[in-house]
Structure 1
Amino acid sequence: MLSIRYRPLAVVIGALFTFPLSTPAFAQAEEGMRLYGGIGWAYDDNLLRVPENERPFGNKRGDSYRTLEGGIVYNKRISRQRVAVSAKASKVKFDYFKQLDYDGRDVQGVWNWELGRLFEGRAEASYARTLAPYTDFRSDERNLRQQQHRLIDAGIKMHPSWKLRFGVARDEFTYELLAQRFNNRTEKAAEVELMYTPKSGSSVGLVARRLEGDYPFRRPGRLDNTLADDFTQDELKARVNWIATGSTTLQALVGYVRREQPSFGEGKTSGVNGRVNLLYTPKGKVAYTASVWREFAPIESTAISYTLNKGAKIAANWYATGKVRVDAEAVYEQREYNARRAFIGSDDLNDSIRAANLRATWQATRKIQVITGYSHQQRSGAPALGTSKFDANVVQVSANVLF
């Protein structure tokens, strides 16, 4: 499936301090329209990701905040079509850093369609407004990030075992804070895939993809202000979904990627990129996941606009009882930066992020869900770029109900 991913570890874990309350998983199983409401409380002991041994912003590092949200969920199968829509509004209030208070929005719609026996696909659109992470940005000002996503994907069954698929997607990112508007961008992607699916249920495909990024504003500190961070990225990858056994599945999307971004040195870089997931679901109450990846990713920094991320993750899901589930994961990611020009220390522009997350979900009733969680994040830092070492811990509790 075609998608534009803007979730490197630094962004995903960094955004955890807002702990947006997800639409309950049990909402997906019920058809029709439902009303949704939720409340939450969390404490982050390093909300703005302040480096060790520093105490700026009023000599305050940690803060607690409350979340209140409500919305609707609609899920319906109509003949061979499936439509799912969710829309929610949230209000987040901080106890100390009150200037960060904001009203969030999250709207998503997906239409999975089939036409006869030969054609199938999906269309989706989403809009999200939330607080951008402070992992790579030193400030105590509110910086809301808005993302709009649109996607159309269609497949043609040319043979019982062969399918040709086409997809296009468009993502737009805008930032509220003037000092961060250089991160505003539009990413457009198009891909085509030839897929083979034997009777075993496994599949293998060859994917050709082109991604184009357009940055309307120049990044500060550039010597040559005529060059933007616009880029093109061409990919040729193999997609594999191998059902090795009844409990083990290997998923991979790996291949060759060439990225051209004139604002950086020679402007060209290439190599192997991709992600591999191993899913192990033995009989019993515990399921396991392991992932490794090597991918280009954007970064919200004044000095660098993208990184090459290499990472690994292990996770376990324990279904303790029929109503209690515990999820745990550990993640490590190394980020390699590509400097625009040589400077002292530019030959060693790397840092790493480690994260550990633990969450327990209690399905109190069919409609009421209670969640508690703990998250730890630690960055090694890259002194040459002014990104210092820090660590942060977050605790959270929330409850939601589907009427």
Structure 2
Amino acid sequence: MKAYPKTSGMRQLTAAESLAVLMVLGMMSSPARAEENEDTFTPYARGLYGYDSNLFRLQNDQEANAVLGTTDTSESYYTLAAGLDMNLRVSRQVIRAHAEYNQTWFNQYRQLNYDGRDAYLKWDWLVGSRAKGDVGIAEKLTQASYANVKKPVSNLIRTRQRFFNAAIKVDNPWLVKLGAERVDTDNNASVQKALDATVDTVHAGVQYTSGKGSTVELISRRSDGQYPNRQLVGLDPVDNGYRQWDNGIAIAWAPTGKTQVSGKLNYTQRNYAEVPHRDYSGLTGLLAMDWMVTGKTTLKASLHRDIGALENDTASHTLNQGIALGADWKPTAKLVFNAQLSHDDISYTGDPGFALSTAPAREDQLTTVQAGLQYSVLRNTRLGLMLKRGVRDSSEALSSYGYNSAMINLRSEF
């Protein structure tokens, strides 16, 4: 297997120097925040320094030596970004905009350096007293995950989104809701072109709101996925196009002033244009609860079962079932701590590679634990720290891994 040597060149910033850059950003003066009903124009700068003990998610030293030419799987990187957020009121209408340009540099694998961007433009519209909604466009360019590529190959993913949503009050307490969305995803790495996709979604539903603010919604959603580049499975080119229906119910309920419960339950059907053995039909859903134990402490829990691509590793779906537990603690007005533990069981029954063979489908278990804090250094300057540990156990050879990561970031508005 080809080794990827580490590159050298101009001297890289050390961790201390990177943090110094972030602190300089934090010293930028900034005015007080505007009131919610006022027009706002908020430029900002942010910086991030990150470390990952196993960036390419390799299983052991033997695999690392074969892929990287070394057993050292760690890497550090830093990101600098500038952007702006804008809210503009025109009578009862609100125009919202966001734009950011960012650059990321890696300390060892410099061929992965990239320029990214993130932008959207949205109109929150209101017609009379009965109809409201939003319409907008968004685009994001960022580096793909290395979790399944497992080598230092750059793949920038460009995601473009166009959407329209409306809610029409027909009679208290009833709302009719409808919307449409198109998402285009493009990969610039030739080996990932099979993942290029266009997904068109339309949805409609009816929502009931109780006198205490709880809601129940009946909803139907149809998604059509088109993949212009066929996925090569062995010698067979496979079309991953599909049609998916999600029909179900969604609720939001506050049983007490300190407890929020939300959830959805759907009957989901996904049918593929080719290799129908991987079609899916069954229940999917989410159940989440937030409990404000005290004015400073909130506990969170959620259960989910859904289908979709995990970490963009395949154009077909995986069946994901998992649980997450979390906690937020705000000891002061300037400081917030948070922690989360999650576990997912992942089945690759939707992968055409397994559907076309007699081999058992791949099964993974992914467990992550993370802890972090947010601290308001100045009026509009926030410092963040995140520590994370992840472990994946897989039935497929060389697909298990473990990693530790840390990120420190600073954002200043002015």
Q: Same fold (TM over 0.5)?
A: yes
- Contact kept, 8 Å, 2:345 with 2:365, in 1: the verdict is yes
- Counterpart check, 1:381 vs 2:394: yes
Give me the TM-score of the superposition, normalised by structure 1.
0.88
Paired with 1:252 and 1:303, the residues of 2 have a C-alpha distance of 28
- Indicate the percent of aligned positions where both proteins have the same amino acid: 25
Paired with 2:128 and 2:314, the residues of 1 have a C-alpha distance of 52
Q: Deviations over 1:43-91 (max 9, x none)?
A: 1111111113332313131111111110111123444333321111111
- Counterpart check, 1:152 vs 2:164: yes
Q: What is the match of residue 103 of structure 2? A: 91
- Counterpart check, 1:347 vs 2:345: no
Deviation (angstroms), 1:302: 7.0
Q: What is the match of residue 120 of structure 2? A: 108
SS at match of 1:216: coil
Match for 2:407: what amino acid?
Q
Q: What is the match of residue 130 of structure 1? A: 142
- Contact kept, 8 Å, 1:46 with 1:63, in 2: the verdict is yes
Q: What is the match of residue 187 of structure 2? A: 175
Deviation (angstroms), 1:271: 0.3
Paired with 1:303 and 1:192, the residues of 2 have a C-alpha distance of 29
Match for 2:390: what amino acid?
Q
Deviation (angstroms), 1:372: 1.1
Paired with 2:313 and 2:137, the residues of 1 have a C-alpha distance of 30
Deviation (angstroms), 1:315: 1.3
- Contact kept, 8 Å, 1:136 with 1:387, in 2: the verdict is no
1:322-337 mapped onto 2 (5 Å cutoff): 322-337=333-348
- Counterpart check, 1:395 vs 2:403: no
Match for 1:37: what amino acid?
A
Deviation (angstroms), 1:41: 1.0
- Contact kept, 8 Å, 1:143 with 1:176, in 2: the verdict is yes
Q: What is the match of residue 248 of structure 1? A: 259
Paired with 1:290 and 1:247, the residues of 2 have a C-alpha distance of 14
Q: What is the match of residue 11 of structure 1? A: none
Greater Rg over alpha carbons, structure: 2
Q: Which of 50, 58, 63 does residue 42 from structure 1 map onto? A: 50
SS at match of 2:111: helix
- Contact kept, 8 Å, 1:105 with 1:129, in 2: the verdict is yes
- Counterpart check, 1:197 vs 2:191: no
Deviation (angstroms), 1:304: 6.5
SS at match of 1:201: coil
- Contact kept, 8 Å, 2:362 with 2:394, in 1: the verdict is no
Paired with 1:152 and 1:87, the residues of 2 have a C-alpha distance of 20
Deviation (angstroms), 1:222: 4.5
Match for 2:408: what amino acid?
V
RMSD: 2.1
Q: Deviations over 1:97-119 (max 9, x none)?
A: 10000001010233222111110
Q: What is the number of residues matched between the two proteins?
A: 376
Give me the TM-score of the superposition, normalised by structure 2.
0.86
Q: Deviations over 1:223-253 (max 9, x none)?
A: 432x400000011110111111111121111
Paired with 1:235 and 1:374, the residues of 2 have a C-alpha distance of 36
Deviation (angstroms), 1:303: 6.7
Q: Deviations over 1:313-345 (max 9, x none)?
A: 11111112110111211111111112433546x
Paired with 1:274 and 1:123, the residues of 2 have a C-alpha distance of 26
Q: Which runs of 5+ in 1 are unaligned?
A: 1-20
Q: Which runs of 5+ in 2 are unaligned?
A: 1-21, 23-32
- Counterpart check, 1:218 vs 2:230: yes
Paired with 1:39 and 1:228, the residues of 2 have a C-alpha distance of 41
Paired with 1:85 and 1:302, the residues of 2 have a C-alpha distance of 31
Paired with 2:319 and 2:158, the residues of 1 have a C-alpha distance of 24
Q: What is the match of residue 65 of structure 1? A: 77
Q: Deviations over 1:242-266 (max 9, x none)?
A: 1111111211111201110143343
Match for 2:42: what amino acid?
R
SS at match of 1:320: strand
- Counterpart check, 1:274 vs 2:285: yes
1:299-310 mapped onto 2 (5 Å cutoff): 299=310, 305-310=316-321
SS at match of 1:190: strand
Q: What is the match of residue 25 of structure 2? A: none
SS at match of 1:319: strand
* Mean CA deviation greater in 168-177 or 259-268: 259-268
- Counterpart check, 1:357 vs 2:365: no
Match for 1:292: what amino acid?
L
Structure 1 residues 27 and 252 mapped into 2: Cα distance closer, same or farther (>3 Å)? farther
